[in-house]
């Protein structure tokens, strides 16, 4: 899946980014390539954290899962 990142270059010359689809995912990098790698890690970490938090809400309860395609 592709994500959109809002990027700014700060006063010290570093790039900072925030993901539009996962706004909790924020990172920085000295280069655009480093920022891209760091953002990918940040997005993965936020999604995994949210997944675990959601699972905790349903622990011990009866439920089922289904996948949905988003175009």
pLDDT per position as a tens digit, 35-69: 999 999 999 999 999 999 999 999 999 999 999 99
The CATH number linked to 11 is 3.30.160
- Average pLDDT value over all residues in the chain: 96
> Which pair of structure tokens corresponds to residue 41?
């890690």
Q: Does residue 45 form part of some domain?
A: yes
Domain enclosing residue 24, as ranges: 5-58
pLDDT at 71: 83
pLDDT at 51: 95
Q: Does residue 31 form part of some domain?
A: yes
Nearest residue to 39 (alpha-carbon basis) of 55, 19, 13: 19
Nearest residue to 35 (alpha-carbon basis) of 62, 66, 8: 8
Taking the model in full, what pTM does it have? 0.86
Q: Does residue 70 form part of some domain?
A: no
Q: Does residue 68 form part of some domain?
A: no
State the total domains in the chain.
1
Q: Does residue 25 form part of some domain?
A: yes
């Amino acid at each position: 899946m592709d994500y959109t990142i809002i990027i700014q270059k700060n006063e010290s010359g570093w790039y900072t980014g925030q993901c539009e689809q996962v706004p909790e995912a924020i990172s920085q990098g000295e280069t655009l390539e480093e920022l891209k790698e760091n953002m990918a890690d940040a997005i993965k970490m936020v999604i995994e954290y949210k997944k675990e938090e959601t699972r905790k809400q349903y622990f011990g309860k009866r439920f089922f899962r289904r996948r949905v395609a988003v175009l």
